[in-house]
Amino acid sequence: MAEKFTVTPWEVKGDIDYDRLIEQFGTEHIDSALLSRIKKHTGGLHHFLTRKIFFSHRDLNWILDEYQKGNKFFLYTGRGPSGNTHIGHLVPWMFTRWLQDKFGADLYFQLTDDEKFLFKNELTLEETNSLAYENALDIIAVGFKMGKTKIFSDIDYAKTLYPHALRVSKKLTLSTVKSVFGFTDSSNVGEAFFTSMQSVPAFLPSAIAGKNIPCLIPHAIDQDAHFRVSRDILPKLGYYKPAAIHCRFLPALGSGGKMSASEKETAIYTTDSPEAVEKKIKKYAFSGGATSIEEHRKHGGNPDIDISYQWLTFFEEDDAKLKQIHDEYKSGKMLSGELKMILIEKLQTFLKEHQRKRESARKVLDKFIIRD
């Protein structure tokens, strides 16, 4: 049966059934036994875990087994610099920061300026490379540890990355990349090669250290196809398969699916002004409220489809506050406009702080970037 949704690294659309994705991709649920195991090491659980925003994984039990034996893992995540950062991108990064804090892990952060040049007709290599450094400010603003975090552009760190990417690509056939990514005969040849670059940071620290180090990759589920390839090939090169932990998408304001940088009105960017945040949410946030105030008071709203409420499940950390909002909205006591105002104020405060840190990041950018 054809699915009603599509999730690939380059296209996300439709009404996503996350349980079905777990089956389709062959990943595993994060169950309560695994949550207790994580909690043993971290003391508490991030609300992204308790609310199942991070909902799926590959080999997380193995990562914890190794950790318990004293074999620490490193973290690896990334960004394809095709434009400004939006608040959906921050979701895996905030969680990665939490993991870094709790497990004292080193982090490799890849900026795939090569990818965005190859996949976006309208962008030049100079533009994606310069966007990489703009995006790096957002990454640093998330609060990663200086000295434990290495950020690099594929283009500017190519001397180190390229020989390893060649080793990956030699084990990768055209027929595999066609079937995994859906490339056709009219795709450019760089696209077929690119996934080799995205595999490299998953074993680079092992290659440098001359011994295998476990790798954990936090990301939204759209990137999984790349790491299916990595998991197939890395053991053939003598390295561990990377483990991964996957999140859902912060939906777009209007239509659900995922927030996408190419849909400007329904995305909130990290650089948006308080006025822009207010305007976009008031105008575009899909409401689960009834059609009139009378109807709403009588029947209440539907938080499950209300985008403002859905966004608060990502950005309101306080469980008690979130529950109160949920109950008041569902009962009809709280109106859609009031719910939107709660979200607007939450995001305005969040972004004010983020923008302050983003500006300070300019001064320390060089301490995070590696190049060769």
How many residues are there in the chain? 372
Stretch that binds ligand TYM, among 28-36, 63-71, 84-92, 335-343 (CB under 6 A): 84-92
**Which of 92, 289, 300, 303 touches ligand TYM by CB under 6 A?**
92
Q: Report in angstroms how near the CB of residue 332 gets to ligand TYM at its nearest.
A: 30
Q: Report in angstroms how near the CB of residue 134 gets to ligand TYM at its nearest.
A: 13
Considering the complex, state which of residue 58 and residue 330 has its C-beta at the smaller distance from ligand TYM.
58
What mask, x for binding ligand TYM by CB under 6 A, covers residues 248 to 277? -xx-------xx------------------
The rounded distance, in Å, linking the Cα atoms of 202 and 206 is 8
Q: Where on the phi/psi map is residue 59: left (φ > 0), alpha (ψ -120 to 50), or beta?
A: left
Instruction: Say if CB 66 and CB 59 are below 8 A apart.
Output: no
The rounded distance, in Å, linking the Cα atoms of 366 and 369 is 5
Q: Does 79 bind ligand TYM (CB under 6 A)?
A: yes
Instruction: Say if CB 277 and CB 348 are below 8 A apart.
Output: yes
Stretch that binds ligand TYM, among 25-33, 34-42, 54-62, 107-115 (CB under 6 A): 107-115
**Which of 54, 58, 59, 80 touches ligand TYM by CB under 6 A?**
80
Closest-by-Cβ residue to ligand TYM is 80
Residue 2: both structure tokens together:
């054809």
What mask, x for binding ligand TYM by CB under 6 A, covers residues 5 to 44? ----x-----------------------------------
The rounded distance, in Å, linking the Cα atoms of 157 and 333 is 55
C-alpha separations of 166 from 77, 139, 191, 193, 281 in Å: 21, 28, 14, 9, 46
The rounded distance, in Å, linking the Cα atoms of 22 and 8 is 13
Place of tokens 């995205």: 198
Instruction: Say if CB 53 and CB 247 are below 8 A apart.
Output: yes
The rounded distance, in Å, linking the Cα atoms of 136 and 358 is 9
Alpha helices in 120-217 (DSSP H): 125-141, 158-170, 174-181, 189-199, 204-209
What mask, x for binding ligand TYM by CB under 6 A, covers residues 147 to 176? ------------------------------
Q: Report in angstroms how near the CB of residue 76 gets to ligand TYM at its nearest.
A: 6
Q: Report in angstroms how near the CB of residue 127 gets to ligand TYM at its nearest.
A: 15
Q: Which of residues 207-246 bind ligand TYM (CB under 6 A)?
A: 217, 219-220, 222-223
**Which of 27, 100, 110, 266 touches ligand TYM by CB under 6 A?**
110
**Which of 66, 106, 115, 272 touches ligand TYM by CB under 6 A?**
115
Could you list the residues that contact ligand TYM (CB under 6 A)?
9, 76-80, 88-89, 91-92, 110, 112, 115, 198, 217, 219-220, 222-223, 247, 249-250, 258-259
